[in-house]
Chains A and B, each alone.
Chain A
């Protein structure tokens, strides 16, 4: 069972209270972009065994979207953070580096 702390209401919410929102920090390529960029934006996703960043929504709760950093292998949660950001904050990166030295995920490390 996955338990995430919602950064908006401070509740330790378990999986059934949350709705998964897919991969985090996608950069949108819309009108004016090339076909390749649009294809990658639409279809290409990470599928890591290890550190992963995701969007979650506290659906049966405060209703807010937030980000979570976790390990897909061990279900360990490194931290949750605000949705109002386009990259993981430094304290989350540090928390991951402490547990998984040398981690990388897309352009982040």
Chain B
């Protein structure tokens, strides 16, 4: 059997911040009524987290749940467990009007870490990334230059960025340019 590898297989770049492709991450898109009890239970069973509020990201390591829109969540689980977690989730959801799909292989995940991480991401996304406006625990879906992307913060100096796998190479090169040595802007 072929072994799954991520889009860029842990490619890394060191500039004013470190940009790294994280490797495989289990991801489940869950759509439905977020106030539904069986949905809340399915999320709790899979991740140990409650259903997040508007633009909340409840993530620790490679497990967690992010708010994507008023009827959509992104459930993060370890890659190896995604099929069993998904099966358990579908079972827990039963006949409620929901949709849970494994999208792990459709995505790529990056981390941007370092003191200038806010600057690097701020160059490519039309988002206020000042520490007053954006903090760990929040998720923002936006665009990374020309492609769609979402990001949240693991800690005060680390972003996790999710994009489509087909755009992984573009996003990596984009972040590499944004992180070039000597390219600090000094706004954040």
Q: Which A positions have Cβ atoms within 8 angstroms of B?
A: 8-11, 13-14, 16-17, 60-64
Q: Which residues of A contact B72 (CB under 8 A)?
A: 62
Interface size range of chain B in the complex: 10 to 19
- CB–CB A62/B143 < 8 A: no
Overall SS of chain B's interface: strand
**A9-B69, A9-B70, A16-B126 known; A60+B141 contact, CB < 8 A:** yes
CB distance from A105 to the nearest CB of B (A): 28
Overall SS of chain A's interface: loop
Inter-chain CB contacts under 8 Å: number = 32
Among A13, A14, A60, A63, find the residue whose CB has the most chain B CB atoms closer than 10 A: A60
- CB–CB B143/A17 < 8 A: yes
- CB–CB B126/A14 < 8 A: yes
Closest 6 pairs between A and B when the two form their complex, measured CB to CB: A62-B69, A60-B143, A61-B141, A14-B126, A8-B70, A60-B148
Among B126, B140, B143, find the residue whose CB has the most chain A CB atoms closer than 10 A: B126
| Residues 36-72 of chain B, each 1 if its beta carbon lies under 8 Å from chain A, else 0 | 0000000000000000001100000000000011101
Give 30 A-B contacts (CB < 8 Å), ordered by A residue. Answer: A8-B69, A8-B70, A9-B54, A9-B69, A9-B70, A9-B141, A10-B54, A10-B55, A11-B55, A11-B140, A13-B126, A14-B126, A16-B126, A16-B143, A17-B126, A17-B142, A17-B143, A60-B141, A60-B142, A60-B143, A60-B148, A61-B142, A62-B68, A62-B69, A62-B70, A62-B72, A62-B141, A63-B69, A64-B69, A64-B70
Q: Which residues of B contact A8 (CB under 8 A)?
A: 69-70
**Beyond A11-B55, A11-B140, 16 extra complex contacts between A and B, CB < 8 Å:** A8-B69, A8-B70, A9-B54, A9-B55, A9-B69, A9-B141, A10-B55, A16-B126, A16-B143, A17-B142, A17-B143, A60-B143, A61-B141, A62-B68, A62-B70, A63-B69
CB distance from A48 to the nearest CB of B (A): 28
Q: Which B positions have Cβ atoms within 8 angstroms of A?
A: 54-55, 68-70, 72, 126, 140-143, 148
Inter-chain CA distance A64–B126, complex, in Å, is 18
